[in-house]
Structure 1
Amino acid sequence: MYKKLSTLLLLFISLTLLGQNNIGHPKLVVGIVVDQMRWDYLYRYYDHYTNDGFKRLLNEGFSCENTMINYVPSYTAIGHSTIYTGSVPSIHGIAGNDFTIQATGQSMYCTQDDKVFSVGTADKNAKAGKMSPFNLKATTVTDELKLATNFRSKVIGVSIKDRGSILPAGHSADAAYWFDGESGNWITSTWYMQELPKWLTDFNNRKQTQKYLAQDWNTLYPINTYLQSTNDDNVYENTYEGQDKVTFPIPTSKLIKDNGLGLIRSTPYGNTLTLDVAKLALENEQLGQHPNTDFLAISLSSTDYVGHQFGINSVKTEDTYLRLDKDLGDFFNYLDQKIGKGNYTVFLTADHGGGHNGQFLNDNKIDGGNWDEEKIRTDLNAYLQKKFGKADMVRNLYNYQVNFNYSQITTDTDMDDLRDACITYLNTLPTTAYAVVTDKVSEASIPSVIKEKIINGYNRELCGEIQIILKPGWYSMSDMKGATHGAWNPYDAHIPLVWMGWGVKHGSSNSEVYMTDIAPTVAALLHIQMPSGTIGKPIVDLLHK
Structure 2
Amino acid sequence: MRKPTIVTALAALITISGTANAEDHNSAEPAQPKLVVAISVDQFSADLFAEYRSSFTDGLKRLANGVVFPSGYQSHAATETCPGHSTIMTGVHSGRAGIIANNWIDQSIEREDKTVYCAEDERIAGTSFGDITAATQGDFVASAWHLLVPTLGERLKKISPKSRNVAVAGKDRAALMMGGHDVDEIYWWQGKGFSTLKGRKIMPAVARLNEVIGAKIDKARPAFEIPASCSAHSAKIMHGEGKSVGEYAFERPDGAASIYRGSPDFDRSIIAAATAVINDMKLGQGEATDVISVGLSATDYIGHAFGTEGLEMCIQMGELDRSLGDFFDILDAQEIDYVVMLTADHGGLDLPERMSQQGVPTAQRIDPDLNAKTIGKKVAAGLNIPGDKPVLYADGPFGDYYVSLELSEEQREQVKDSAIALIAAHDQVEMVLDRDDIASIEIPRGSPEGWTLAERARASFNPDRSGDFIVLLKKGITPIATTQRGYVSTHGSPWDYDRRVPILFWREGIQHFEQPLSVMTVDIAPTLGALIGVEITADQTDGQCLDIDGGPANSCE
Instruction: Pick the TM interval, shorter chain.
Output: 0.7 to 0.9
Aligned match of 1:69 in 71, 74, 81? 74
- Equivalence map 1:382-393=2 (5 Å): 382-390=377-385, 392-393=390-391
Letter in 2 for 1:437: D
Instruction: Supply the AA of the counterpart residue of 1:24.
Output: A
Q: Deviations over 1:239-269 (max 9, x none)?
A: 9xxx987844543133x2xx4x232101110
The percent of aligned pairs where both chains have the same amino acid is 23
* 2:347 maps to 1:353: yes
Mapped to 2, the partners of 1:424 and 1:290 lie a distance apart of: 60
Secondary structure at 2:237 match in 1: coil
Match of 1:394 in 2: 392
Partner amino acid, structure 1, of 2:253: S
Q: Distance in 1 between matches of 2:282 and 2:405?
A: 53
In the TM superposition, residue 43 of structure 1 has moved relative to its aligned partner by 2.8
Q: Of the candidates 426, 429, 434, which is equivalent to residue 431 of structure 2? A: 434
Comparing 97-106 with 281-290, greater Cα deviation is found at 97-106
The one-letter code matched in structure 1 to 2:517 is S
Give the secondary structure class of the aligned counterpart of 1:455: helix
2:142 matches 1:146: no
Q: Choose the corresponding residue for 1:40, options 23, 38, 47.
A: 47
- What secondary structure sits across from 1:45 in the alignment? helix
Offset at 1:460? 2.1
Q: Report the CA distance shift for 1:252/1:237 in structure 2 as closer, same or farther (over 3 A).
A: farther
Query: How many Å separate the matches in 1 of 2:68 and 2:212?
Result: 38
Shift of residue 86 of structure 1?
A: 1.1
Aligned-partner residue type, residue 153 of structure 1 = S
- 2:233 counterpart residue number: 229
- 1:514 matches 2:482: no
Secondary structure in structure 2 of the residue aligned to 1:424 = helix
> In 2, Cα distance between the equivalents of 1:512 and 1:249?
35
Superposed CA offset, 1:365-419 (max 9, x none) = 321212246543344223311332225211225472353342441234262x433
Partner of 1:274: 270
1:141–1:387 distance in 2 versus 1, CA, 3 Å: same
The separation in 2 between residues aligned to 1:211 and 1:397, in whole angstroms, is 32
Whole-Å separation in 2 of the counterparts to 1:397 and 1:465 = 13
Pair 1:422 & 2:396 matched: no
Q: Which residue in 2 is equivalent to 1:122?
A: none
Q: Report what 1:362 is aligned to.
A: 356
For 1:171, the equivalent position in structure 2 comes to 181
1:164-195 CA-partner distances (Å, limit 9, x unpaired): 112211111101111122xx12111236x2x2
Are 1:131 and 1:189, in contact at CA under 8 Å, matched by a contact in 2?
Answer: yes
Q: Is the 8 A contact 1:67 1:513 kept in 2?
A: yes
Alpha-carbon distance change, 339 to 165 in structure 1, aligned in 2, over 3 angstroms: farther
Residue equivalent to 1:527: 533
Specify the alignment match of 2:252 in structure 1: 252
Deviates more, 1:525-534 or 1:36-45: 525-534
Residue correspondence of structure 1 range 441-460 to structure 2 within 5 A: 441=438, 448-460=451-463
User: Paired residue for 2:6?
Assistant: none
Q: TM-score, normalised by structure 1?
A: 0.84
Cross-structure match for 1:536? 543
Q: For the residues of structure 2 that align with 1:94 and 1:361, how far apart are their CA atoms?
A: 31
| 1:487 aligns with one of 487, 490, 493 | 493
Report the equivalent of 2:144: 133
Deviation string 1:76-111 (CA, Å, 9 cap, x unpaired) is 011111111111232211121111125448211111
**Matching of residue 54 in structure 1 with residue 52 in structure 2:** no
CA contact (8 A) 1:75 1:486 kept: yes
Q: Aligned in 2, Cα 1:78/1:399: closer, same or farther, shift over 3 Å?
A: farther
Q: Which residue of 2 aligns with 1:99?
A: 104
Aligned twin of 2:84: 79
Q: How many Å separate the matches in 1 of 2:217 and 2:371?
A: 45
Whether the 8 Å contact between 1:129 and 1:187 is mirrored in structure 2 is no
- Taking the aligned partners of 1:55 and 1:425, their CA distance within structure 2 comes to 49
537 and 249 in structure 1: CA distance in 2 versus 1, 3 angstrom threshold = closer
State the 1:274 CA deviation: 0.7
Letter in 2 for 1:439: D
Deviation at 1:158, TM superposition (A): 0.7
Q: Does the 8 A contact of 1:352 with 1:493 survive in 2?
A: yes
Q: Aligned equivalents of 1:117 and 1:507: distance in 2?
A: 52
Contact 1:288 1:339 in 2 (8 A): no
Report the counterpart of residue 12 of structure 1 in structure 2.
none
The structure 2 residue matched to 1:28, chosen from 30, 35, 39, is 35
User: Which whole-Å deviations, capped at 9, do the CAs of 1:300-357 have from their partners, x for residues lacking one?
Assistant: 00110000000011101110110110111111111111134xx211000000000121
- Where does the alignment leave 5 or more consecutive residues of structure 2 unmatched? 1-17, 128-136, 442-449, 553-557
Q: Secondary structure at the match of 2:348?
A: coil
Deviations 1:465-491 (A, max 9, x none): 111111110131142562100011111
For residues 524 and 53 of structure 2, the distance between their equivalents in structure 1, rounded to whole angstroms, comes to 24
Query: Conserved in 2, the CA contact under 8 Å of 1:238 and 1:310?
Result: no
Structure 1 partner of 2:13: none
Counterpart of 1:317? 313
Distance in 1 between residues matched to 2:515 and 2:245, nearest whole Å? 43
Report 1:173-192 matches (<5 A): 173-181=183-191, 184-190=192-198
Q: Secondary structure at the match of 1:253?
A: coil
Residues 434 and 271 from structure 1, CA distance in 2 versus in 1: closer, same or farther, beyond 3 angstroms? same
Question: Equivalent residue of 1:207, what SS?
Answer: helix
Residue 469 (structure 1) aligned with residue 472 (structure 2): yes
Instruction: Give the length in aligned residue pairs.
Output: 501
> Does residue 1:328 correspond to 2:324, yes or no?
yes
Q: Does the 8 Å CA contact 2:120/2:140 hold for their aligned counterparts?
A: no
Is contact 2:103–2:395 with CA below 8 Å preserved after alignment? no
Distance (Å, rounded) in 1 between the aligned partners of 2:100 and 2:521: 15
Pick from 168, 180, 202 the counterpart of residue 158 of structure 1. Answer: 168
The CA distance in 1 between the partners of 2:454 and 2:509, in whole Å, is: 35
Q: Which amino acid aligns with 2:103?
A: D
CA distance in 2, matches of 1:451, 1:385: 28
Q: Does 1:308 align with 2:304?
A: yes
CA contact under 8 A between 1:402 and 1:467: conserved in structure 2?
A: yes
Give the Cα–Cα distance (whole angstroms) in 2 for the partners of residues 291 and 498 of structure 1: 26
Q: SS state of the match for residue 85, structure 1? A: coil
Counterpart contact for 1:199–1:284, Cα < 8 Å: yes
- Gap change, CA 1:503 and 1:156, over 3 Å in 2: farther
Q: Secondary structure, in 3 states, of the residue corresponding to 1:275? A: helix
- Residue range with higher mean Cα deviation, 31-40 or 400-409: 400-409
**Residues 428 and 201 (structure 1), Cα distance of their counterparts in 2 relative to 1, 3 Å cut:** same
Which residue does the alignment assign to 1:7? none
Write the letter of the residue equivalent to 2:69: C
Distance 1:55 1:364, change over 3 A: same
Do 2:394 and 2:401's aligned partners in 1 also have CA atoms closer than 8 Å?
yes
Q: Counterpart of 2:144 in 1: which secondary structure? A: coil
User: Against the structure 1 CA distance between its residues 199 and 378, is the aligned structure 2 distance closer, same or farther, given a 3 Å change threshold?
Assistant: closer
CA contact 2:33–2:338 (8 Å) conserved in 1: yes
**Mapped partners of 2:259, 2:282: distance in 1:** 31
